């Protein structure tokens, strides 16, 4: 029986893909390196360490993760001001979960600072959620299931009692490896790429009823 919904953040609750790329692009540009959006695509949903670290590796750049990630987040925060809002259907979907008395959690690979920028800029108050888990609280990033196992444990539930809402291939693999069911939203990848999810929708406005009624 479904008891909780675990939300990935970027691409599920809020569309940050473009701003995250621009922040990373600007950070790399300050080091004289020109990067493309396609460089980052394989690392969407794996956390910023992987996101910038793997692209730095491609360009043989000796990245300093703490320094360069801090700079990227500073740029991201500046870009985000007045430019972020919850994706279509998010508020209605949360209301539908509350009507069913489901617990709610955020489980994001992003660091705490980015998670709070997203929540504050979109008006999604942290009090809406029973649990918030960010990438700094786990060792293994998606597609490893650790973040969803950790989030379920903090809710005092089994992963089998949880629905994960994801937009990325790595996230779906993490959810399924944890033993949770998964609803995928085609905000970042195609239906074909997200095919391992239990349900797929183009927007939370059109969430399959079955995803919340099991």
Name the active-site residue from 8, 15, 111, 167. Answer: 8
| Residue 19 token pair | 């701003």
3-class secondary structure, 106: strand
Rounded Cα gap, residues 43 and 65, in angstroms: 15
Asked whether the bond before 111 is cis by omega within 30 degrees of 0, the reply is no
Q: How far is CA 91 from CA 52, 58, 88, 124, 204, in A?
A: 31, 39, 8, 9, 9
Neighbours of 18 (CB within 10 A): 11
Name the active-site residue from 10, 15, 111, 198. Answer: 10
Q: How far is CA 16 from the centre of its chain?
A: 9
Rounded Cα gap, residues 156 and 4, in angstroms: 10
Q: Where are the alpha helices (DSSP H) in the chain?
A: 17-30, 37-40, 48-58, 65-80, 90-99, 112-122, 146-154, 169-178
Q: Is 213 a catalytic site residue?
A: no
Q: Is 8 a catalytic site residue?
A: yes
Q: Which residues contact 91 (CB under 8 A, 6 or more apart)?
A: none
The residues assigned a catalytic role are 8, 10
């Amino acid at each position: 029986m479904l008891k909780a919904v675990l939300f990935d953040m970027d691409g599920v609750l809020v569309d940050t893909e473009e701003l995250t790329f621009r922040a990373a692009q600007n950070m790399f540009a300050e080091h004289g390196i020109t990067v493309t959006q396609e460089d980052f695509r394989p690392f969407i949903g794996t956390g910023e360490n992987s996101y910038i670290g793997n692209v730095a590796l491609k360009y043989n750049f000796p990245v300093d993760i703490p320094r360069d990630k801090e700079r990227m987040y500073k740029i991201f925060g500046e870009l985000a001001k007045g430019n972020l809002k919850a994706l279509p259907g998010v508020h209605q979907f949360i209301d539908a979960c509350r009507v069913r008395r489901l617990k709610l959690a955020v489980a994001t690979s992003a660091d705490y600072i980015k998670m709070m920028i997203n929540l504050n800029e979109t008006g999604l108050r942290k009090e809406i959620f029973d649990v918030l888990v960010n990438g700094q609280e786990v060792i293994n990033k998606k597609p490893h299931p650790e973040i969803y196992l950790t989030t379920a444990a903090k809710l005092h539930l089994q992963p089998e009692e949880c629905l994960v809402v994801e937009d990325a291939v790595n996230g779906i693999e993490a959810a399924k490896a944890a033993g949770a069911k998964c609803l995928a939203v085609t905000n970042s990848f195609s239906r074909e790429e997200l095919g391992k999810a239990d349900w797929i929708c183009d927007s939370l406005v059109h969430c399959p009823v079955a995803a919340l009624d099991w």
